[in-house]
């Protein structure tokens, strides 16, 4: 039973398109995150939500809009995709927003052509 699941796993699209990545966790956690792993494999936080409320927005372009309909879901919508958006996007969750252990999904590889 997957704890943190993301869909789709692979996404190939053209520049200028809009796309979404969905994430769900069944761990009963309060906090969810989006991380981006670039081509050099560095992982950087993008957003964090605690109980549907945005608590971290790491100076990500406005084209990226997270949405949390409930605390078990955190979706990422990206408008007007650019070549530089190509990366692997990881969703994660933790029990709380302070010191909890993070659990990651398997990642969604986005390729923008």
- CB nearer other proteins, residue 77 or residue 107: 107
- By the 10 Å C-beta count (0-12 exposed, 13-18 middle, 19+ buried), 52 is classed as middle
Confirm or reject binding of residue 89 to other proteins (CB under 8 A).
no
Binding residues for other proteins restricted to 37-56, rule: CB under 8 A: 40-45, 48, 50, 55-56
Confirm or reject binding of residue 31 to other proteins (CB under 8 A).
yes
- CB nearer other proteins, residue 14 or residue 41: 41
- Contact in structure between 79 and 66 (CB atoms under 8 Å): no
As measured in angstroms, the least distance from the Cβ of 83 to other proteins is: 21
Total binding residues for other proteins by CB under 8 A?
A: 29
- Percentages helix, strand, coil for the chain (3-state, rounded to 5) are 5, 55, 40
Q: Write the DSSP string, 59-80.
A: S--TTEEEEEEETTEEEEEE-S
CB atoms near residue 7 (< 10 Å): 13
Confirm or reject binding of residue 75 to other proteins (CB under 8 A).
no
The binding site for other proteins (CB under 8 A) comprises 4, 31, 35, 40-45, 48, 50, 55-56, 58, 90, 92, 94, 96-107
């Amino acid at each position: 039973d997957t704890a943190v699941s993301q869909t789709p796993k692979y996404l190939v699209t053209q520049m200028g398109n809009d796309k979404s990545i969905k994430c769900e966790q069944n761990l009963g956690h309060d906090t969810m995150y989006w991380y981006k792993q670039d081509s050099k494999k560095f992982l950087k936080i993008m957003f964090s939500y605690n109980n549907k409320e945005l608590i971290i927005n790491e100076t990500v372009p406005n084209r990226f809009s997270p949405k949390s309909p409930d605390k078990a879901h955190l979706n990422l919508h990206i408008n007007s995709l650019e070549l530089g958006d190509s990366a692997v996007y990881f969703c994660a969750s933790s029990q709380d927003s302070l010191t909890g252990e993070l659990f990651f999904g398997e990642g969604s590889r986005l390729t923008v052509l």
